[in-house]
């Protein structure tokens, strides 16, 4: 199983909740799981789709955007969306610059670490602008890091980069003018199963990870209510979403509930 390094802590929480026990020695990217016959490999997100899709790896955690950028969508299947690592791949331009719309970038310079996705996107922009044949089309240049600095350093007229909170984008004096896609961390498996004898274990791990994700969406609520108020109490499951209990709001109290205890769930079986 290949694990997404950039979101290391979130991945470790997920594995722990799924009862995957391991010890990772310092400076080593491979470790054996103690309670299952599998190994964990910690890799950059961009490498994981290839190892799962074409290599000898059965499961992986990576980003939805990386699968598309590596053109591996026909080789891997997204089993679960994991609910973390959410971001958007966006076209960004200088806040104080002259470019106000996407079509104004046609024929100009774009810097990105997502050459494939940016190339496809701006091919459509060029077509709309009539930039075909010998007419100069939009230039897509690859930069592995510090993409957001490309405009300020004179390398680009616009960039295509991932935006999470938007803090880095704003600090670089940039603003978004288009979104290519929304992304988050996903659990993937090979579209062509490699180890038939491991299929039950792969399904078990997938189900346990699904249980951890489900547990994060709910809490357990226990409370007492007087028998005389049972008719007015709204019926609700003992498992409820956290937003059912608004901070400072009346919630269950308004229908006569007393001694309310709310517990978080570490995991569940779905």
The residues pairing with 186 across neighbouring beta strands, listed in sequence order, are 62, 81
For residue range 106-119, list pLDDT tens digits in order. Answer: 999 999 999 999 99
Taking alpha carbons only, the member of 94, 80, 5, 85 closest to residue 42 is 5
Backbone torsion region of residue 26, taken as left when φ is above 0, otherwise alpha when ψ lies between -120 and 50, otherwise beta: beta
Angstrom distance (rounded) from CA 96 to CA 106? 19
Helix, strand or coil for residue 146?
coil
Instruction: Please give the Cα distance from 182 to 147 (Å, whole number).
Output: 19
Band (pLDDT 50/70/90 cuts) for residue 27 is confident
Bridging pattern class, strands 158-163 and 87-94: antiparallel
Section 227-234 average pLDDT: 62
Q: Which domains does the chain have, with CATH numbers?
A: 2-85+184-215 (3.40.190.10), 87-182 (3.40.190.10), 218-264 (no CATH)
Give CA torsion, residues 138, 147, 90, 11, to 10 deg: 140
Residue 78: pLDDT over 60 = yes
Q: What is the dihedral of CA 15, 16, 20, 25, to 10 degrees?
A: 90
Q: Note the pTM of the prediction, 2 decimals.
A: 0.81
4 has a pLDDT exceeding 80 = no
Q: Is the model's pLDDT at 268 over the cut of 80? A: no
Read off the pLDDT of residues 40-77 as tens digits, 9 standing for 90 and up: 998 888 999 999 999 999 999 999 999 999 999 999 99
Give the Cα separation of 90 and 157 in Å (integer). Answer: 14
Record the tokens describing residue 79, joined without a space.
């089993």
């Amino acid at each position: 199983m290949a694990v997404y390094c950039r979101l290391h802590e979130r991945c470790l929480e997920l594995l722990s909740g799924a009862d995957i026990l391991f010890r990772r020695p310092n400076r080593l990217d491979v470790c054996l799981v103690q309670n299952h016959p599998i190994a964990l490999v910690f890799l950059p997100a961009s490498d994981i789709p290839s190892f799962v899709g074409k290599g000898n790896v059965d499961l992986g955690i990576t980003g939805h955007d990386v699968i598309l950028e590596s053109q591996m969508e026909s080789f891997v299947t997204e089993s679960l969306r994991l609910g973390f690592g959410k971001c958007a791949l966006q076209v960004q331009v200088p806040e104080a610059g002259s470019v106000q719309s996407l079509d104004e970038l046609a024929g100009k310079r774009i810097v990105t670490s997502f050459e494939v996705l940016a190339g496809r996107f701006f091919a459509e922009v060029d077509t709309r602008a009539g930039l075909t044949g010998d007419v100069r089309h939009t230039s897509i240049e690859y930069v592995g890091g510090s993409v957001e600095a490309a405009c300020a350093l004179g390398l680009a007229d616009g960039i295509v980069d991932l935006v999470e909170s938007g803090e880095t984008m704003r600090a670089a004096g940039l603003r978004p003018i288009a979104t290519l896609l929304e992304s988050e961390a996903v659990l993937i498996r090979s579209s062509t199963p490699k180890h038939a004898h491991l299929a039950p274990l792969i399904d078990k791990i997938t189900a346990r990870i699904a249980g951890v994700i489900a547990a994060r969406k709910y809490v357990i609520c226990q409370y007492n209510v007087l028998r005389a108020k049972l008719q007015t109490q709204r019926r609700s499951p003992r498992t409820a979403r956290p937003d059912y209990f608004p901070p400072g709001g009346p919630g269950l109290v308004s229908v006569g509930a007393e001694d309310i205890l709310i517990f978080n769930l570490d995991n569940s079986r779905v």
